[in-house]
Structure 1
Amino acid sequence: MKYRIVPVDHSNISKARALVDTVFPHQSPAERISLRLYTLKSGWTYRFLSWVFGADLLAFWIAVDESGEALGISGLYRLRKDGHEAVWLGWYAVHPSARGKGVGGALLRHAIQAARYTGGKYLRLYTSDSELIEGSGDAQGVYEKYGLKVKSVKAVYGGLLINRDGVKVLKANKIIREMPLR
C-alpha cells in the first residue's frame, strides 16, 4: 500500500474529521471540537478555547493514499497542567481498512520524531481499551512496541450495549501511557 504523511490543513481537514468520526464514533463534545478547532489555530476562537480547555494543538498529520483518501491520523498537543515536561499524542487512529499495513507504525514514528523537537521530556498518550472502539486492543500492542509504557490505569464505565441478546455492561480502562523523549 502506497501512502504519504502530510500535515492536516484546510485542504484535507474534512477527510481527517471523517476518519476520526469513523474510528471514534463515541467521542465527547470536547473531543469532537478539538480537531475541528485545529484549522482555526491563528484565530481568536482557537486561542480562547485553548485557554478554556488548557490545551494547545501543536501539529497534526494524516496518511493519505494515492487518491488522497485518509488512511490514518496523528498529532501532538500540550496540556497546561504538564506542558513544562510533556507533549501528548493526539488523535492517533488508523482506518479499519488500512490496519496491519504499516500506516499506524509510520504515523507513530513520525509523531515521536516530531515530539523530540518540542523540548518535552516525555511523550504521553491518553487511550482506552474500551469495547466500543474497534481495534483498541491492537492499538495497545502498537503503543508497547514503540515504547509507550503504561503510567496509570483507571477502570471506568464504558456504556451499555443493547441488542437481541439483551443488555451488556461495557467496561473500559482509561490508560495513560508515557515514553521518555531524551
Structure 2
Amino acid sequence: MSFDIVPFEETRREEVIRLVDRVFPSQGLVERLSMRVFQTRWDWLLKLGGIRDGRFWLATKDDAVIGTVGLYSTPKDAASALWLGWFCVSPEARGQKVGQALIDFAVGNASAEKRQFLRLYTSTDPNEAAAQSMYARNGFGLVGESRPLLWRFAGSPVKLLFRERRLSAPA
C-alpha cells in the first residue's frame, strides 16, 4: 500500500477527530479533548493535562486520513523522554504496514531529538489488543500498570498500561 506521512493540517482536523473517535470509542476526557484543542486557542488545556510540545502527523492515501501518530513531552521527564500519542490506524488500512510505518516514523523523530526513551500509555481495552503486540514487537516493554480510581468506581476492569522503549544510552 502506498501512502504518505504528512504533518497535521488544520483543514484535516474534523477528519482526524472522526478517525480517532471511531478507533477509540471509550477514550477519556483528555484524549477526547486533545485532538479538538490541539493548535487552537484552547491548546493551553493540553498543558493542564501534562502535554507539552505536542505535534502529530497523518498517514494519508488518496486524500483520506488513514492513520495518525504524535509525539509530546511531559514536565516530569521532558529531558529524557518523549511520549508517543495519538497513534491509530483506520480499520480498513490495518494489516497494510501503515501502523509500522507510523511507529518507525515516531521512533526516528524521537531518536533525532536525542531522547533516551520513547514512552506510551495504552490500555487493556479489547479495542487495543492488536496494538499491544505491535508495541511489544517494536521494543516497547511493559513498565507499569494502573487502574484509575474513576474507572474502578465505574466498574471497568480496564487497566492503563505504560510501555517504554530505550532509544539511546544515558549521556
The CA distance in 1 between the partners of 2:47 and 2:3, in whole Å, is 35
In structure 1, C-alpha distance between the alignment counterparts of 2:153 and 2:104, rounded to whole Å? 33
Match of 2:20 in 1: 20
Identity of aligned residues (%): 33
Three-state SS of the structure 2 residue aligned to 1:171 is coil
Query: Once the two structures are superposed, what CA deviation does each residue of 1:79-122 show, in whole Å capped at 9, x if it has no partner?
Result: 11221211100011111111111000000000110111223210
Aligned length: 166
Runs of 4+ in 1 over 3 A off after TM superposition: 155-160
String of CA shifts for 1:113-144, please: whole Å, max 9, x gaps: 0111223210001001213x2xx111111001
Distance of 2:66 and 2:116 partners within structure 1: 29
Alignment partners' CA distance in 1, 2:86 and 2:47 = 20
Q: Structure 1 unaligned runs (5+)?
A: 161-168
| Contact 1:124–1:178 under 8 Å retained in 2 | yes
* Higher strand proportion: 1
Q: What one-letter code is carried by the residue in structure 2 that aligns with 1:87?
A: L
Look up the match of 1:143: 135
Q: CA offset at residue 159 of structure 1? A: 9.2
Match of 1:130 among 125, 142, 159: 125
Query: Would the aligned equivalents of 2:34 and 2:46 in 1 still touch at CA under 8 Å?
Result: no
Cα RMSD for the two superposed structures: 2.0
CA contact (8 A) 1:159 1:171 kept: no
Q: 1:152 to 1:116 in 2, by over 3 A?
A: same
Structure 2 counterpart of 1:142, which letter? M
Say which structure is richer in helix.
Answer: 2
Q: Describe the SS at the equivalent of 1:20.
A: helix
TM score, norm. by length of structure 1: 0.82
Structure number with greater Rg is 1
User: Which residue identity lines up with residue 58 of structure 1 in the other structure?
Assistant: G
Q: Within 2, Cα distance between the matches of 1:114 and 1:56?
A: 16
Query: Partner of 2:9 in structure 1?
Result: 9
Q: TM-score, normalised by structure 2?
A: 0.87
Which range moves more in the overlay, 71-80 or 114-123?
Answer: 114-123
